[in-house]
């Protein structure tokens, strides 16, 4: 769940999406099995982080003035779920950038580099983050 403060339309209200993330990784060379990286490593590290921090919760902007935020935080805490706060509005673009930064850190010792990350809010709506050259 998220909302975009000051949004000019319906995204100003709390709502949810069925997010999906697509990561593109690069390595200097393929491993001895012909891979950049075992997909299980990506699933375990990045997927595990998403499950722990973003699954069944809310991604909100720190300082969101909506009075419901405090209620959401308290309710999630009662059910053992966090609320994840960004310092910027939780648009698809900003969520993609945050996940890319997190993914880079989670993958730094694997020998691969994150090249791009595409975050789907819906099957036909996405935002793409690309690494700087």
Q: Cite the active site residues.
A: 11, 56, 121
* Helices first, then strands: H and E counts in the chain: 4, 5
* DSSP state string for 101-117: HHHHHHHTTTT-EEEEE
- Residue 2, CA distances (Å) to 10, 22, 122 in order: 12, 20, 14
Measured distance CA(38)–CA(81) in Å, rounded = 30
> Cα angle at 16 between 42 and 43, to 5 degrees?
10
Measured distance CA(17)–CA(111) in Å, rounded = 32
* DSSP state string for 53-67: HTTTSEEEETT---T
């Amino acid at each position: 769940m998220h909302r975009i403060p000051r949004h000019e339309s319906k995204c100003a209200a709390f709502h949810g999406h069925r997010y999906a993330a697509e990561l593109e990784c690069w390595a200097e060379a393929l491993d001895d099995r012909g891979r950049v990286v075992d997909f299980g490593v990506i699933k375990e590290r990045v997927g595990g982080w998403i499950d722990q921090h973003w699954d069944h919760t809310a991604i909100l902007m720190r300082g969101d003035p909506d009075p419901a935020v405090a209620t959401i935080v308290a309710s999630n805490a009662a059910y053992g779920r966090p609320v994840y706060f960004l310092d910027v509005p939780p648009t698809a673009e900003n969520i993609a950038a945050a996940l890319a930064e997190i993914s880079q850190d989670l993958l730094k010792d694997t020998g691969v580099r994150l090249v791009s990350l595409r975050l789907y809010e819906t099957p036909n709506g996405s935002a793409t983050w690309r690494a700087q050259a």
